[in-house]
Structure 1
């Protein structure tokens, strides 16, 4: 299985990209959450100029953040800086929208956005719609300004069959956050394969596009506790992201919160109390998301429940982790992406060693 890394945009991100490339990682991704982190396209531009081999990904953008022409221009411009090394991740904007206090877009809007981006980034004219007005659009500048000759890899963010079906119809890869269940991955791949049948992307005629899983990694030291402070610090950002999602969506997506057990629901309640907000407060996004996907505060370690650590992250000895990763590889996951928040350089090196 290949290895990659996802980081939050901050000054010096290109230095991490250089280190990732030297470490032998296959890909380097940045989050696209405008009001939480720095600009993803600015960051990858710096990374493109500083590296020569590693693939560079946006994980993920959304039609709720940018128009298709603007996004296509950004990706084709990156492709001019790093020809053939760009990965375009697309989702409904679940995190990036909710951090604005808004709801994500629909799967159908995501699919239309994906199709438009694929066409524009390949240099084709596509139908572009705003309300009732429809026009054919294409890149009007040529030469070295954008690169539509080298392919851009597209991946769709998916946790369920509807988004996976978009990947099948559009011939894209898949990326999923914290999904470490091989059975769930087989279901996603089945949904993608079924949706591709009868299209030009039928996987019976061409290889299936790549799949990526995003998680956190902590390799236990000798005699280290499985759910000790070090493990909680390394994986806590993923756990808190799920708890924040449950707290934020309790009023509009109650089915998700209903799937949580009593201990997890109590952790959601404590999180809301600790941040001085409620599930229905109109400004809850300003209280729940500061520091999102960053290193957790020591006082929040009690919220990092072992059940959620085990579900979302990889914690264990090297042998334990290799045994857990093998079924994911067998289920069709091509690349393991980690989100390091403690010591990214060391964590990247450990990932490479683990998978070698």
Structure 2
């Protein structure tokens, strides 16, 4: 299985990208979470100039954050700096929107956004809508300013539900998911993508009586870009005699566990479906952050420090069961066994979010998968 890394935008990020490339990692991604982390396009522009081979991804952007023309301009500009090495991750904005106190966008809006980006990044015109006003748009001065000749790889973010995976099928894109280490769940996502796949001859047309707004998703004829499945997780290889719930293991994986607890604390309906010990951890998190599950400004208390190294006083919230569910913790042999099962389920690339010592953690990942 191939390996990659996901980081937050920050000064010096290009040095990490160079290190990842030297280690032989396949891709290097930057989060798109405004008001939490820095801007991914600024960061990846620096990475593009500093590297030569490694693929560079945004994981992930959303129609609720950026308009299609602005996003396409950003991706096509990156593609001019790193031709054929750009990966565009798109999603409903579940994290980036909730950190603003707003709900994610709809799957329908996600599909419209993805379709428009695919068209624009390939140099094709597309339909752009603001309210009742609809216009056809395209790059007006592509030569030398943006690159629409080399393909941009697209992936759609999907968790457990089949709807986003179906978008990936209809749009002929790859998939990306976060903390999804269950091979059966990946098989279900891939089946949902396969079931939704259609050919250009099956695409709905206005001539067939389909309303125009439902007929604006022509399927690309043989996409030049690859179709891959990416899994974002955390990694901790145990030393001899080290307990699976050691402080080091909790520190390496706690950002993923706390991200789940943050989400549950922000969504009482989700918290109600969790096991009792996890619900108790959610209640403890709310108490420590000085907020409640119904406070209108709870997002201002829950998300500071999101996806960064956890505070030592929060280690007790990193429950061993959640660590095992969301992250790869174990001996080298145990982790490789889990990775092999995921690879058989169709996962092409393992992306690790390193938060303790990124250069060392990326090196461990490269060693583990080579």
TM-score range normalised by the length of the shorter chain: over 0.9
Tell me the CA shift for residue 209 of structure 1. 1.6
Alignment match, 2:208: none
Q: Contact between 2:153 and 2:226, CA under 8 Å: does it hold in 1?
A: no
Alignment match, 1:286: 300
Q: Contact between 2:171 and 2:220, CA under 8 Å: does it hold in 1?
A: no
Q: Say if 2:250 is the partner of 1:236.
A: no
Q: Contact between 1:196 and 1:202, CA under 8 Å: does it hold in 2?
A: no
1:1-356 → structure 2 map (5 Å cutoff) = 1-159=1-159, 160-199=161-200, 209-250=227-268, 254=269, 256-356=270-370
CA distance in 2: counterparts of 1:121 and 1:206, whole angstroms: 12
Tell me the CA shift for residue 222 of structure 1. 1.1
Q: Contact between 2:17 and 2:28, CA under 8 Å: does it hold in 1?
A: yes
Q: Deviations over 1:244-293 (max 9, x none)?
A: 0000011xxx1x22331000000000000000000111110110000000
Q: Deviations over 1:67-91 (max 9, x none)?
A: 0000000000000000000000000
CA distance in 1: counterparts of 2:222 and 2:320, whole angstroms: 41
Tell me the CA shift for residue 208 of structure 1. 7.9
C-alpha spacing 1:270/1:332, structure 2 compared with 1 (3 Å):
same
Q: Deviations over 1:132-180 (max 9, x none)?
A: 0000000011211000000000000001100000000000000000000
Q: Contact between 2:232 and 2:351, CA under 8 Å: does it hold in 1?
A: yes
C-alpha spacing 1:228/1:80, structure 2 compared with 1 (3 Å):
same
Q: Contact between 1:8 and 1:38, CA under 8 Å: does it hold in 2?
A: yes
Tell me the CA shift for residue 203 of structure 1. 12
Give unpaired runs (5+ residues) of structure 1.
none
DSSP 3-state at the match of 1:341:
coil
User: So what's the TM-score if we normalise by structure 1?
Assistant: 0.97
Tell me the CA shift for residue 205 of structure 1. 11
- Count residues with an aligned counterpart: 352
CA distance in 1: counterparts of 2:345 and 2:221, whole angstroms: 16
CA distance in 2: counterparts of 1:158 and 1:54, whole angstroms: 24
Tell me the CA shift for residue 198 of structure 1. 3.9
C-alpha spacing 1:297/1:103, structure 2 compared with 1 (3 Å):
same
Give unpaired runs (5+ residues) of structure 2.
202-218
Shifted more, 333-342 versus 191-200: the winner is 191-200
User: So what's the TM-score if we normalise by structure 2?
Assistant: 0.93
CA distance in 1: counterparts of 2:191 and 2:225, whole angstroms: 14
Q: Contact between 2:252 and 2:354, CA under 8 Å: does it hold in 1?
A: yes
Q: Contact between 2:7 and 2:353, CA under 8 Å: does it hold in 1?
A: yes
Q: Contact between 1:196 and 1:203, CA under 8 Å: does it hold in 2?
A: no
Q: Deviations over 1:305-338 (max 9, x none)?
A: 0010000000000000001111100000000000
CA distance in 2: counterparts of 1:34 and 1:349, whole angstroms: 29
CA distance in 1: counterparts of 2:344 and 2:272, whole angstroms: 31
Superposition CA RMSD, Å = 1.7
DSSP 3-state at the match of 2:129:
strand
